[in-house]
Structure 1
Amino acid sequence: MPDVMKPDGVARGRPDERRFGLPTATALVVGSVIGTGVFALPSALAGFGPISLVAFVLATVGAVALALTFGALNRRVPGSGGPYLYAREGFGEFAGFVNAWSYWITAWAGNAAIVVAWVGYVEVFWNTSHARGWSLAIALAGLWVPAAINLAGIRSLAVVQVVTTVLKFIPLLFMATVGLLFVKSANFGEFHAGGGPAFGAVSAAAAIALFAYIGIETASVAAGRVVNPARNVGRATVAGTVACAVVYILGAVTVFGTVSHEALVASAAPFTDSANAIFGGRWAGNTVAAAAIVSGFGALVGWTLIVGEMPQAAARDRLFPAPFARDSRRGVPAYGIVAGTILASVLTVVSYTSFAEVFTTVVLLSVLTAVVPYLFSAAAQVYWLLTEGRRARCGHLLRDLLVAATALLFSFWAVAGSGYQAAYYGLFCLLLGVPVYIWLKVGTREHGEISPAAQTQGVRR
């Protein structure tokens, strides 16, 4: 039987040792946002030139607006599921299912992107020739070891998240502050190196930069496992996003300014190259590479939990296959964790054998499927503010509308910048969910059942 939800969004029957507080919730956000993406993104953005730094700033504004929106939404609709819950409550069951399905794709496809970048830093120490077979073996180990940690229980996950977040954040903060002293303007190269319309370059670069912020919503997705979620989820989301934004922007400027444009475009480990350029030798670069390995591992541990959390929330409303709804004896969504890791493994194998630009291709697919839940969440907030906001003070209403509208417009912009290939693959994966939804609804109707989501909406109407 699914857990019964308390008004504050905490599941009854879930012991305290299976929940975590504000520090771990913040670590989950930072740990999920700062994976290996930030360590690989300077190379992916370098082809556009320094104009991509403008895109990074704009992506940061959109990410902060989304973080504030998620914090407000969690206070309105508490409980695990995040974007799924907001879309379901605002626009009905089908919208909720589409968001759950799309976000689930984001979670396991994002793990494939994280592990591809993670391999690049592992290979600073081992498999330096980048033999594809060994690269793939390293990637698969990077997916399944975090899955094993999650299956061991929430306590082991919490320890790994806090430790890896501290270990990854300190070197990044160092590079983002001390590294600025070594920036040389000659390294930046041509401002708009990619050619073509400047707006198109900024949009495309922003779509890639958004990948660095995917994960700001993870505290809201796992809200049912957070102590006092009405207070802690919003704080963890905003604090984690702002902390990541600071090291992201300053760190990107450092890398662009310490590595020549030509070398940066070809780099598989740009932060390592930047550290080596600043301090000379290889010890500094190896230290950064080790931090990137720790960072990516911590992100994979956090995202592997989210791979199970999102479908579990939908499955408890009978909007995802029933096996996803159950917790294991260790109190984790084991079925979703294993299923998501298998799919991430398949995508990783396909990426290494079929895509020339493995990281960028998988990144854009993840961005597109993430933006769908972001867009619906921001739209739900705008809808509620316009229909129920009359009770709020005018100043507060205008402020909240501005934030939600910024998040909504940013989501549309990110979709436009994802490109045709990502739109093709992303839309195809998204529409694969329609037959699954039909199958679930037919099964519910044959058994004469009404989903908990439909019951809730019926009462509210």
Structure 2
Amino acid sequence: MNEKQGGLLTEAAAADRPAGSGGTAAEAGKEPRLGLLQATALVVGNIVGTGIFLLPASLAAFGTVSILAFGIVTLGSLALAVVFGRLGRRIPASGGPYAYARDSFGEFPGFLNAWSFWITAWAGNAGIAVAWVGYVVYFAEAAFGLDWSGTGAQVVIGLVGLWIPALINLAGVTKMSLFQLVTTILKFAPLVFVAIVGLFFVQSDNFGPFNATDGSWIGAISVAAALVLFAYSGVESASIAAEKVKDPERNVGRASVYGTLACAALYMLGTVAVFGTVPHDKLVGSTAPFADAINAMFGGSAWGTVMAAFAIISGIGALNGWTLLVAEMPMAAARDGLFPRMFTRMRAGNVPWVGIVVGTILTSVTFVTAFAAENAFNTILLLATFTTVVPYLFSAAAQLFWLAAGERRGGGRSLGWNMTLAAVALLFTFWMIFGAGGDAVFQGTLMLLAGIPVYIWVKASRGEYGPKEIARVEGELR
């Protein structure tokens, strides 16, 4: 890490670091690690959650313009994946966007990125849980005739779904990665089936209007794109967990690109298939659109029940991967003295247990309160989109900064290509902030600003403000 740009690690912060748990993968020692396959599964598993299983219904409200939005966001997400690969090769540090922002722009921007992503992780998990509960309720009724549609029952189901992945993560990285790989394989099979077979059942009358909103199609595509971006959240997963990835200089980038490409193909084909097999009016009100799509293909309800079962597996897998990231980001920042030191506490199996427990508690609170809000899924998605985009924006800016400063490899052609990708990624993030809407930006900004007192408290508790810090800096300058 560039100390002059990123800020010196204070002696107090260094003293608080647990032995053998430094900020980079190289310092992780012989702890359990993720290979390329498992790292790619982490990316795919985090991107493909229950969001995609409910997203076609949310997008149908905007019309088929949302398919165009999907295409644009896919290109932007691929640009981000490549940028994360380049950044991960340069700084294979745990924390991903946090580490990149801190190294380029200093400690406070680094803290804001860590804080923003942390909000994204635990708030986004609440959104995944909301969608996951809908498929559990659908499956329980279709398979066993059980009515779990009451608010109390759904809250209990959601909390169980949140704490099962937490327990799996607490059991260790090896068990967590195995569970992630298995659930990723299981979730891909039915989605691929609908995405490919469903194209043969598409009927043009089912697609509905191009713009189903009362406003302009440009406004519709912007909001739809912001919702789609949440479905791609997770493209940065390998970079966040770089410390736990084998050969991160190579595998972080490869896992990011491979995982995003696989999800992009699946998402685009799957969305078109659902739009074309389920009538628009029915799709807008659907709580299980992929299940409705497969029922429309073959008739009856049995196939939809099977699809709901796979959606449940997918949701648990996504929550499993994101629970890891909920803990990894604050752990990386805490090691550098920018988050409370309790987040550095580890247990056997390379497990940051405090981050897992605290993050799951915050997710549980958000999930429970979400049921009091109208259209909770979209509300959480747009808020999480904003807090996701902030670290994306800083990461793209960090890549531009390094390229402009001449810290690059390759010839002039490589510089032009990398500058273009970074610029596209940066502009894409600005557009996503616009698409999230005024309410989400306002709420997200308030949540970001709420982190400032935490930053002050952490720095002050380490004696990094006042005469002590001044004397330390003066001593270093001498």
After TM superposition, the score normalised by the length of structure 1 is 0.95
Alpha-carbon distance between aligned partners in 2 of 1:76 and 1:2, rounded to the nearest angstrom: 24
The answer (yes or no) to whether the contact 2:186–2:314 under 8 Å persists in 1 is: yes
Residue 401 (structure 1) aligned to one of 402, 413, 419: 419
Asked if the contact 1:389–1:397 (Cα under 8 Å) also holds between the matched residues in 2, the reply is no
Task: Write the deviation string for residues 181-214 of structure 1: whole angstroms up to 9, x where unpaired.
Answer: 0000000011111131111111000000000100
Counterpart of 1:370 (choices 364, 368, 388) is 388
- After TM superposition, give the deviation of residue 440 of structure 1 in Å: 1.2
The one-letter amino acid of 1:155's match is T
Of residues 278, 284, 301 in structure 2, which corresponds to 1:282? 301
What is the 5 A alignment of 1:17-416?
18-126=32-140, 128=147, 130-353=149-372, 355-388=373-406, 392-416=410-434
1:158: how far off?
A: 1.0
Deviations 1:243-290 (A, max 9, x none): 000000100000000001110000000000000000111111111111
Distance in 2 separating the partners of 1:420 and 1:311: 28
Q: Distance in 1 between matches of 2:425 and 2:110?
A: 19
Shift of 1:390: 7.2
Give the match for residue 417 of structure 1.
435
Amino acid at match of 1:113: G
Q: CA deviation at 1:449?
A: 7.7
Q: CA deviation at 1:42?
A: 0.4
CA 121–323 in structure 1, closer or farther in 2 if over 3 Å, else same? same
Deviates more, 1:122-131 or 1:329-338: 122-131
Amino acid at match of 1:374: Y
Matched residue of 1:356: which SS?
coil
Residue 433 of structure 1 is matched in structure 2 by 451
Change (3 A) 1:176 1:435: same
Q: Aligned partners of 1:142, 1:77: CA distance in 2, in Å?
A: 34
The 8 Å contact of residues 5 and 79 in structure 1, kept in 2 or not, is answered as no
SS, match of residue 406 in structure 2: helix
Partners of 2:190 and 2:307 within 8 A in 1: yes
CA–CA distance in structure 2, aligned partners of residues 360 and 84 of structure 1: 26
Moved more, 120-129 or 394-403: 120-129
Residue pair 1:180, 1:253 contacting (<8 A) in 2 also:
yes
Instruction: Name the CA distance, whole Å, in 1 between partners of 2:21 and 2:174.
Output: 22
Q: Please state whether the residue corresponding to 1:339 is helix, strand or coil.
A: helix
Deviating above 6 A after TM superposition, structure 1's stretches of 4 or more consecutive aligned residues are 447-450
Q: Distance in 2 between matches of 1:293 and 1:3?
A: 39
Partners of 2:213 and 2:272 lie apart in 1 by: 18
Give, in whole Å, the separation in 2 of the partners of 1:285 and 1:274.
8
Distance 1:4 1:398, change over 3 A: farther
Matched position secondary structure for 1:192: coil
CA distance in structure 2 between the aligned counterparts of 1:128 and 1:173, rounded to whole angstroms? 30
In structure 1, what residue type is equivalent to 2:180?
A: Q
CA shift, 1:130, in A, is 1.5
Residue 18 of structure 2 corresponds to 2
Normalising by structure 2, we get a TM-score of: 0.91
Counterparts of 2:272 and 2:128, CA distance in 1: 22
Encode CA deviations 1:361-397: one digit per residue, 9 max, x unaligned: 0111111100000000000001111111576411111
Assess, with a 3 A threshold, how the Cα gap between structure 1 residues 396 and 348 changes in structure 2: closer, same or farther. same
SS in 1 for 2:157: helix
Following the alignment from structure 1 to structure 2, what is the Cα–Cα distance between the partners of residues 11 and 4?
10
Q: Indicate if the aligned counterparts of 2:22 and 2:335 stay in contact, CA closer than 8 A.
A: no
Query: C-alpha distance in 1, partners of 2:258/2:444?
Result: 30
Does the Cα contact within 8 Å between 2:36 and 2:251 map onto a contact in 1? Answer: yes
Q: Give 1:329 deviation, angstroms.
A: 2.4
1:27–1:397 distance in 2 versus 1, CA, 3 Å: same
- Equivalent-residue separation in structure 2 for 1:46 and 1:103 (angstroms): 28
How has the CA–CA distance of structure 1 residues 14 and 326 changed in structure 2, closer, same or farther, with 3 Å as cutoff?
A: farther
Q: Distance in 1 between matches of 2:267 and 2:92?
A: 30
Shift of 1:445: 2.2
Pair 1:13–1:367, CA change in 2 (3 A): closer
Aligned-partner Cα distance in 2 for 1:87–1:13:
22
Offset at residue 180 of structure 1 (A): 0.4
What's the CA shift for 1:411?
Answer: 0.4
SS in structure 2 of the partner of residue 175 of structure 1: helix
One-letter amino acid of the counterpart of residue 147, structure 1: A
**Does the 8 A contact of 2:174 with 2:349 survive in 1?**
no
The answer as to whether partners of 1:3 and 1:12 remain within 8 angstroms in 2 is no
For residues 128 and 408 of structure 1, the distance between their equivalents in structure 2, rounded to whole angstroms, comes to 47
Aligned with 2:138: secondary structure? coil
What RMSD in Å do the two structures reach over aligned CA positions? 1.8
Unaligned runs of 5+ in 1: none
State whether residues 119 and 138 of structure 1, in contact with CA within 8 Å, keep that contact through their aligned partners in structure 2: yes
1:14 counterpart residue number: 29
1:3/1:13 contact within 8 Å kept: no
Unaligned runs of 5+ in 2: 1-16, 141-145
**Secondary structure of 2:405's match?**
helix
CA distance in 1, matches of 2:461, 2:83: 35
Correspondence 1:445 to 2:459: no
Distance 2:22 2:119 in 1: 29
Residue 9 of structure 2: aligned partner: none
Give the match's secondary structure for 1:294: helix
Structure 1 residue 446, shift from structure 2 partner: 5.8
